[in-house]
Amino acid sequence: MNPLDVTSALMDGPGVEVGTCAKCGSRSVGLCAPLNAAALDEMAGDSHLRTLQRRSSIFDQGEPATSVFTLTTGIARLTRSLADGRHAVIGFRYAGDLVGYTPLAEYPHGADMLTEGTVCRMERGRLEGMFRKYPLLERRLIDLCHVELASTQEHLVALGRFRAEDRVAAFLISLAEAQERRGNPGPVFAMPATRGDVGDFLGLSVETVSRTISRFQRQGWIKLPGRAAVELTQRSKLMALATGDET
Amino acid sequence: MNPLDVTSALMDGPGVEVGTCAKCGSRSVGLCAPLNAAALDEMAGDSHLRTLQRRSSIFDQGEPATSVFTLTTGIARLTRSLADGRHAVIGFRYAGDLVGYTPLAEYPHGADMLTEGTVCRMERGRLEGMFRKYPLLERRLIDLCHVELASTQEHLVALGRFRAEDRVAAFLISLAEAQERRGNPGPVFAMPATRGDVGDFLGLSVETVSRTISRFQRQGWIKLPGRAAVELTQRSKLMALATGDET
DNA sequence: CGGCACTTTGATCGTGGTCAATAAGTGTGG
DNA sequence: CCACACTTATTGACCACGATCAAAGTGCCG
Rounded to a whole number, what is the distance in angstroms from the first to the last CA of chain B?
Answer: 20
CA nearest to A139 within chain B: B138
Per-residue pLDDT of chain A (247 residues), as tens digits, is 455 555 444 444 443 444 556 555 555 457 777 777 777 777 777 788 999 999 999 999 999 999 999 999 999 999 999 988 889 999 999 998 999 999 999 999 999 999 999 999 999 998 888 888 888 888 888 999 999 999 999 999 999 999 999 999 999 999 999 999 888 887 899 999 999 999 999 999 999 999 999 999 999 999 999 889 999 999 999 999 999 876 4
Whole-angstrom Cα Rg for chain A: 18
Residues A135/B132, Cβ–Cβ less than 8 Å? yes
Nearest CB to B146; choose among A10, A103, A153: A103
* Residue A106 DSSP class: B
Residue type at A126 in one-letter notation: R
Q: Is the CB of B203 under 7 A from strand C?
A: yes
Q: How many CB atoms lie within 10 A of CB A107?
A: 23
Cβ A153–B244 below 8 Å, yes or no?
A: no
* pTM, full prediction: 0.89
CA nearest neighbour of A9 among A214, A147, A120:
A147
Sort out which chain A residues have CB atoms less than 8 A from B101's CB and list them.
146
Say if CB B146 and CB A102 are below 8 A apart.
yes
Print pLDDT tens along chain B (247 aa). 455 555 444 444 443 444 556 555 555 457 777 777 777 777 777 788 999 988 899 999 999 999 999 999 999 999 999 888 889 999 999 988 999 999 999 999 999 999 999 999 999 998 888 888 888 888 888 999 999 999 999 999 999 999 999 999 999 999 999 999 888 897 899 999 999 999 999 999 999 999 999 999 999 999 999 889 999 999 999 999 999 876 4
Whether residues A160 and B109 touch (CB distance < 8 A) is answered with no
Mark the nucleotides of strand C covered by protein, meaning any atom under 7 Å from a CB: 6-11, 15-20, 25-26
Q: Look up the protein residue whose alpha carbon has the minimum distance to the C1' of C24.
A: B227
Residue-wise burial string across B208-240, b where 16 or more C-beta atoms lie within 10 A, e elsewhere = bbbbbbeebeeeebbeeeeeeebebeebebbbb
Q: How far is the CA of A195 from the C1' of C8 (A)?
A: 11
Residue A111 makes CB contacts below 8 A (sequence gap 6+) with A57, A58, A59, A69, A76, A77, A78, A79, A93, A99, A100
Q: Is B78 in contact with B90 (CB distance < 8 Å)?
A: yes
State the Cα–Cα distance between residues A191 and A61, nearest whole angstrom.
Answer: 24
User: Considering only CB atoms, which chain A residues are within 8 Å of B90?
Assistant: 153, 156-157
Q: Which chain B residues are within 8 Å of A246, Cβ to Cβ?
A: 84
Residue A227 CB coordination number (10 Å): 8
A115 CB inside 7 Å of strand C: no
Is A138 in contact with B143 (Cβ distance < 8 A)?
A: no
